[in-house]
Amino acid sequence: MADAHTSKDNSTLFTSLGRLAPQLKPIIWPLIWGLLSALAASVVALVVPQVYRVLVNTALQPGNGTKGLWTGAAVVLGLGILEAGLIALRRQFVIVPATTVETRMRTSFYRHLQSLAVEFHDRWGSGQLLSRAMSDLNFMRRWMAFGAIMLVVTTLTVVIGVSLMFSMSWQLGLIFLAAAVPIAIFGFRFRLSYGRVSRKSQDQAGDLATAVEESVHGIRVLKAFGRGPEALDSFAGQAQELQATEIHKAKSLAVFSLVVTLLPELALGSGLVDGILLVSAGKLDVGALVAFFATAAVVAGPVESMGPLMAMTLTAKTAIDRHFEVMDAVNTVTDPASPVALDSARGELEFRGVHFRYPDTPAATRDVLDGINLTLRAGETMALVGVTGCGKSTLLSLVPRLFDVTAGTLMLDGVDVRQLTLSALRTHVAVAFEDTTLFSNSVRDNVLLGAAEQPGLSPEDVLEQALEVAQASFAYTLPQGVDTLIGEEGLSLSGGQRQRIALARAIAARPAVLVLDDPLSALDVNTEERVTERLRSVLESTTTLIVAHRPSTVSLADRVALLQDGRITAVGTHSELLAANSHYRYVLASLTEEPRDLDSHLETGLGEELAEELGAGKEAGA
C-alpha cells in the first residue's frame, strides 16, 4: 500500500542527480560529444544569417557574375547539411549509451528485487515496483539523453545571448537581468512544489498499477460477489486522484512558464521604451538597439523552454529517488561472509530456542514463535500440528530462510542455516506452499522448476517420477500433455490438480529436507490415501516436515509435533499424543466432539493427563 513507500523527501536535487554519477561515468564521453554536437548545431544555425549578409553585400550586387552566387548557395547548402548531420550525430552519440545505462539499471533493479527478502515483497505491491522498473527508468533515460543536454545547451545559449546583449547596451542588459531575480526566487519555490507533486503523481501511478494487478488476480472473487462495479468505483476514484495530481502538476508548471516568459518580456517592453529614449537622447545608436532586440528574440526561445526542461529535471529527480529508494532497501536475508560448505546434507534439522516475530508486530505482543525446540532426525518425517494461525507456516518458512529467526538458531546437519549460502540451503530444502504458487508455463516447466540433476535420469524421467509420486499423472491426459500451459497461477487446473503439481515440483527437487505445508488439503480421500502411500515410500530417506490439519496426513509421519502458543508443547507418535495430550485431541480429533460419529477406542485416551514430551529427540543431535 501507499504507506510502504512514503518518501523521506529531503534529498536535494543535486544529491539525487549525483547518485546517477557512477552510472554515467562510463558513458561520459559520448554524452559530452552529444552535447558538443548539439552546441555546434545551434552555432551553425546562427552562422547562416551571416552568409546572407555577405551575399547581399557582395555577390548579389548588380553587375557581379553568377560565380559568387553559386558559391554562396553551396555554402548555405553545406551548412544546412552540416546542421542536419549534427542533429543526427547528437542522437547517434547519446542514444545507445543512454539506453545501455537504462537497461543496466533496470536489470540490476530486478536482480536486487529478487534478492530482497520476502518481508519486503509483502509490503510492496507489484504495480508500484513495476512503475519504478519501467516508467521511472524510461524517464530517466530520456532526461539523460535529451533533457540534461538540452538544459546545458539552453543555459549556455541564454548566458551567451545575455552577455551579447550586455555588450550592446549595459543599461538595457541590466533591465533584462533584473527580471532574473524574481525568476530565481520563484524557481526555488517551484522546485519544491513541483518536486512534491511529481513525486505524488508517480507514486499514485504506481498504486494504480497495483490496483489493476489486484483486480485481475482477484477477479474470481469480484465476479463471485458481483463486486465489479464497486471495484471500478474505487479504481475510478484512484484514477481521478491521479488525474487531479497531474492537473495540479501541469498548473504548477504553467504558472512557472508564465513567470519565466512574462518577466523577461516585461523587461524587454520597458527596455524598448527606455532604448528608444536612449537613442533619441543620443546615448545609443539605432544599430545597437536593433541588434539588442534581435538577440533578445534569439534568446526568447531557449528562455521559454527553461520551464519544461526544469520540470523534466525535477521529474527525473523523482524517478531517481524512487529508483534508489528500492535499491537502498537492505536485504535482510543474505549470504554469510564466509559460508560453510555442505555438499550433501543428511537432513538433520534442529530448531534450538527459535524465536520469530514479524517486523510489524506491536511491541507488547509475544513472538509468534516463542522458543521452538525441535529436532528432526535425518530421514524422519515429522508432522506439525496446531490450530489455525498458530504459526505453522511461519515455522516452515524459516527452514529455507524465507524469513530469518529473530533469536535462537536453526541448524541443518549441525550447521546454522545462516552459515550456508542461500542457494546451497535451498538446494537441500524444497517447499510446497499452502497456496500453490504456480507459474503460467507448461506443467513440465512448473514441475522441473527446481529439479535436481539426477545421475542416469533424463529430465523426462524425473518429471515422470515426480508426477507419479504426487499422483499427478493426469497431466499426461491434458490437451497437450505435460506441455499444456496451465494459465496464470495454474488457474486452469482444478484445485487438487494444482496442489499435486506443486507437490510434484517439491519432490522433483530431490532435497534432503522436504517442507510441505498442508499439501493434501485439496485432495479427496482416495487420492490422498494414494499420495500418502507413495510419499511414505519415497520419503523414506528424506527428512520431511509436514503441516497437517487432518489425521490422515498425520499418519504419514513418524512423529508429530504440536505447536501451541508459539512453542512445541509435545512431540510423539500420533497415538501417543492422542492418548496423552488434550490439546492435541482438541486440534485433531474431530470425532470426540460428535457423539454420533464417535469411535469408541478414542474414549480411552480422554482425561488422562500424561507428561508432555518436550523437545524430544535431542539424542540425535550429534
Partner 1 sequence: MSTTTGTANEDRVELSKADSKAVRQRSVRLLRTLLRPVRRRFIITVVLVVLSQAAKVSGPLLIAYGIDSALPAVRSGGNLLPLLVTGGGYLLAAVASSWLTATYLTATARLSQAMLLDLRIQVFRHTQRLSLEFHETYTSGRIISRQTSDLEALRELLDSGIADLASGIIFMVLTAVSIFSLDWITGLLVLAAAVPMYFLSRWYQRRSQAAYRSSRVVSARLIVHFIETMTGIRAVKAYRREKDNAATYDELAEDYRRVTVRSINLNGIFQPGLVLIGNVAVAVVLLVGGFRVLDHGLAVGALLALLLATKRFFQPISQMAMFYNSFQSAQAALEKVSGLLEEVPTVLPPRTPVPLPRAQGHIRFAGVEFGYGSGPAVLPRLDLDIPAGQTVAVVGATGAGKSTLAKLIARFYDVTAGSLTLDGVELRQLSIADLRRAVVMVTQEAFLFSGTVAENIALGNPAASRAEIEAAAREVGADGFIRALPDGYDTDVNKRGGRVSAGQRQLISFARAFLANPAVLILDEATSSLDIPSERMVQDGLHQLLGGGSGPGGAPGRTALIIAHRLSTVAIADRVLVVHDGRIVEDGSPAELISGGGRFAALHGAWRDSLV
Ligand X SMILES: Nc1ncnc2c1ncn2[C@@H]1O[C@H](COP(=O)(O)OP(=O)(O)OP(=O)(O)O)[C@@H](O)[C@H]1O
At position 51, the amino acid (one-letter code) is V
Q: Which of residues 246-275 bind partner 1 (CB under 8 A)?
A: 246-247, 249-251, 253-255, 257-258, 261-262, 265-266, 268-270, 272-273
Considering only residues 32, 160, 180, 368, which one is a binding residue for ligand X as defined by CB under 6 A?
368
**Residue whose cell numbers read 557574375:** 65
At 175 the three-state DSSP class reads: helix
Segment (H or E) for 84: helix 67-115
Is 62 a binder of partner 1 (CB under 8 A)? yes
Rounded Cα–Cα distance for residues 291 and 271 (Å)? 13
**Residue whose cell numbers read 530486478:** 110
Is 30 a binder of partner 1 (CB under 8 A)? no
Considering only residues 28, 56, 159, 407, which one is a binding residue for partner 1 as defined by CB under 8 A?
56
The smaller minimum CB distance to ligand X, of residues 10 and 365, is found at 365
Residue 480 backbone dihedrals phi, psi, to 5 degrees: -110, 30
The smaller minimum CB distance to ligand X, of residues 195 and 496, is found at 496
Which of these ranges, 6-14, 293-301, 385-393, 534-542, lies near ligand X under the rule CB under 6 A?
385-393
Q: Are 513 and 428 in contact (CB under 8 A)?
A: yes
Is 153 a binder of ligand X (CB under 6 A)? no
Is 391 a binder of ligand X (CB under 6 A)? yes
Is 434 a binder of ligand X (CB under 6 A)? yes
Considering only residues 65, 220, 280, 360, which one is a binding residue for ligand X as defined by CB under 6 A?
360
Is 240 a binder of Mg ion (CB under 5 A)? no
Rounded Cα–Cα distance for residues 15 and 10 (Å)? 10
Q: Which three cell numbers stand for residue 590?
A: 474431530
Is 527 a binder of Mg ion (CB under 5 A)? no
Is 125 a binder of ligand X (CB under 6 A)? no
CB of 386 to ligand X, least distance (A): 6
Is 492 a binder of ligand X (CB under 6 A)? yes
CB of 388 to ligand X, least distance (A): 4
Is 358 a binder of Mg ion (CB under 5 A)? no
Residue 331 Rama label (left phi>0; alpha psi -120 to 50; beta): beta
Is 610 a binder of partner 1 (CB under 8 A)? no
Question: Would you say the C-alpha torsion 605, 611, 617, 619 has a positive or negative sign?
Answer: negative
Considering only residues 163, 494, 541, 590, which one is a binding residue for Mg ion as defined by CB under 5 A?
494
Considering only residues 393, 421, 440, 532, which one is a binding residue for ligand X as defined by CB under 6 A?
393
Segment (H or E) for 391: none
Is 456 a binder of partner 1 (CB under 8 A)? no
Rounded Cα–Cα distance for residues 397 and 399 (Å)? 5
Among 553, 554, 555, 587, which Cα is nearest to 569's? 587
The smaller minimum CB distance to Mg ion, of residues 404 and 434, is found at 434
Closest residue to ligand X: CB criterion: 496
Residue 131 near which of partner 1, ligand X, Mg ion, none (CB within 5-8 Å, type-dependent): partner 1
Which pairs from 470-473 meet CB under 8 Å and 24+ separation?
470/500, 470/501, 470/503, 470/504, 470/507, 470/531, 470/534, 471/500, 471/527, 471/530, 471/531, 471/534, 472/497, 472/500, 472/501, 472/503, 472/504
Residue 12 near which of ligand X, partner 1, Mg ion, none (CB within 5-8 Å, type-dependent): none
Q: Which of residues 308-337 bind partner 1 (CB under 8 A)?
A: none
Q: Which three cell numbers stand for residue 347?
A: 537432513
Q: Are 482 and 476 in contact (CB under 8 A)?
A: yes
Question: Would you say the C-alpha torsion 485, 487, 491, 492 has a positive or negative sign?
Answer: negative
Considering only residues 143, 190, 433, 584, which one is a binding residue for partner 1 as defined by CB under 8 A?
433
Q: Are 443 and 482 in contact (CB under 8 A)?
A: yes
CB of 518 to Mg ion, least distance (A): 6
Is 116 a binder of ligand X (CB under 6 A)? no
Site string for partner 1, 509-528 (x = CB under 8 A): x-------xx--xxxxxxxx
Is 495 a binder of Mg ion (CB under 5 A)? yes
Site string for partner 1, 72-91 (x = CB under 8 A): xxx-xx-xxx-xxx-xx--x
Is 103 a binder of partner 1 (CB under 8 A)? yes
Rounded Cα–Cα distance for residues 68 and 564 (Å)? 101
Contact positions vs Mg ion (CB under 5 A): 393, 434, 494-495
